[in-house]
Amino acid sequence: MGGGPDLPTRAASKEKELVLCVLVWPEEQVEGPIKALKEAFKDVEVEYYHSKFENGKAEPVDVPEDTLRRATYLATHFWLPPSASAIPSTKLIQFFSAGTNHVSQHPIYTDSKIPLCSANGVHGPQIAEWVVMMDLVHSHSYTKLYDNQKKRVWDQKAGMNVSDRVGKRVGVLGYGSIGRQVAHVAKAMGMDVIAYTASPRKTPESKRDTGYIVPGTGDPDGSIPGAWYSGTNKEDVHEFLKQKIDLLVVSVPLTKETTHLLSTEEFSLLHKSNPRGTYVANIARGQIIDQKALITALEQAHISGAALDVTDPEPLPKDDPLWDAPNVLITPHCSGATDVYADRAFQVLLENIKREKSGGKLINEVNRKRGY
């Protein structure tokens, strides 16, 4: 019959796959990475929602049901839909955070098989700089010097108590991407590095970093540590802590097993093995350290000091005794911030979409049983 050409049916026209982004930056701040994503995949479109987040609290985000149903890939920091049934087309959830412990009780985590990937690796350079900065501030007595500057006091003696880093030992508790970049920088400063991981790393292949690596950083082949310790029980951790550590970097993921991993007994071991004092830097999660035991260890000088970017709880209440503990430096969970964070995280997302499409092994896929 007449009437012109047939209109294309929905089945005949291939609908673009949807990348749903629910992230903490205003969209105009990530126009570059979004453009790169669209250029890399001509068959995808992007819908963006700003998830406002401040001091540990996120504002609710209203994403239309139709958008959720269409989403093939979800990029998010914290936000998730109520259940997997709300996102029936989703093949991958890419978190822009290093860990996923904040969603470990969510039904999508516990009851679905949607692959979850972290942004582990994007934080290495800036957090390693934070760790080294804090260690140097401590070892060069800089807080005293700065206090004197504000009081306009010239006291040369206050700056004479210096312990340079050459020959000192860094113990990296959790040798992931952040720990590897700490090792990279520490080695350049002439420090000795020892590493600890839950699983044994006895072969060259097992020591490799298979996650995302910022080019030119880290320890891709795992060759930096002079010694490597491993295990999951207390005795294994204690053997590591007995190694006369000058700087202990806490960079393990938070799991049931690592909660209060460092407490009174562990601080006592550090003190016995290194009476001059271990400096503890925690950039992981506050709950990994028993905070009351930490305060006691600081007060009794069982450790030389602590640099904490994470606390338990967060935000740390104004009346918490940790604020007044001796030789402690506290920052508000900001060591991972950098002006190129979004660019790096979108690179992980782009690579994982590429691998999902080709059937390859995803980067940083979370093992739900292990918790990371």
Q: Which residues are catalytically annotated?
A: 285, 314, 333
From first CA to last CA, the distance across the chain in angstroms is 62
**Distance in angstroms (rounded) separating the CA atoms of residues 118 and 271:** 35
In angstroms, the Cα distances linking 138 to 26, 92, 107, 280, 341 are 36, 43, 43, 11, 27
**Distance in angstroms (rounded) separating the CA atoms of residues 16 and 41:** 10
The string of DSSP letters for 92-146 reads EEEESSS--GGGTTSHHHHH----EE--TTTTHHHHHHHHHHHHHHHHTTHHHHH
Where does 189-263 have alpha helices with state H?
234-241
b (16+ CB within 10 A) / e for 319-356: ebebeebebbbbeebebbeeeebbebbbbbbbbbbebb
The pair of structure tokens assigned to 271 is: 């003190």
Q: Could you give the 3-state DSSP secondary structure of residue 248?
A: strand
Distance of CA 281 to the CA centre of its chain: 14
The string of DSSP letters for 170-194 reads EEEES-SHHHHHHHHHHHHTT-EEE
**Distance in angstroms (rounded) separating the CA atoms of residues 221 and 183:** 12
Do residues 171 and 147 touch, judged by C-beta distance below 8 A?
no
**Distance in angstroms (rounded) separating the CA atoms of residues 296 and 370:** 31
Do residues 75 and 353 touch, judged by C-beta distance below 8 A?
no
